[in-house]
Structure 1
Amino acid sequence: MFKLILLLMLGMSKNALAATHCQTAPDSEFKMTISINSEQVKYVIGGRPYLSPRIENHNGSFNLFDTLQGTTIIVRNILVNGTEGILNMIAINMTNSDIIFKEKVPLTCVTVQ
């Protein structure tokens, strides 16, 4: 069932170029689906859609940034290696630089050419 959902995500991709689609495990605390194409990264967290420019690092990973309540920023880094990926997340309070949470979440991924 898990892989079927990923395949459905592939069918819904509107970009004809290569795209990578990932999602967290069904029992994950952070329920996310992620689609990375040549121009942008689309992701859904808890049913809420987000869109980020594609910011690719030298190691092939991608960065995503969210702002919550004006003072908290969440930085997400996604590294995909074939059918597996890792999502590193860190939430930082920008007023005092405190780390609110830090999490590493495994992903299941598929790439379409």
Structure 2
Amino acid sequence: MSDPRFRPRAYTEEPLGFGKVESIRWIEAGSDLDADRILASKLQHEYAVRINRRLKELGKSVREYAGMTGVGYDRITRVLRGDAVMRLEDVAQAERLLHGITTEKSAGDTTK
């Protein structure tokens, strides 16, 4: 597998918490490109947290989830820990298989 355009977890001060804990600290943007990548990383982190939480609720492992997706276990783990970029189809697939991934209210959402 080739290296991704960037590693989302590289934009947090707590890379080991990426996709695992609800709230982590992010680095300061040094450029517009960094700001874009930090926002993309935050979105990926939020979806990875939701996927991991839902798997736990369902009593399923990441390996079982990889089997459900038909995507290799290695890629799924890289995406969920922020070593590879999550694609929109990854999010759509997680929503289809696990439900509630995209409809869960985000931490910053104050709408009803």
Fold equivalence (TM over 0.5): no
More strand by percentage = 1
Task: Kindly indicate whether structure 1 or structure 2 has the higher relative contact order, using CA contacts under 8 Å at least 6 residues apart.
Answer: 2
TM-score, normalised by the number of residues in structure 2: 0.27
More helix by percentage = 2
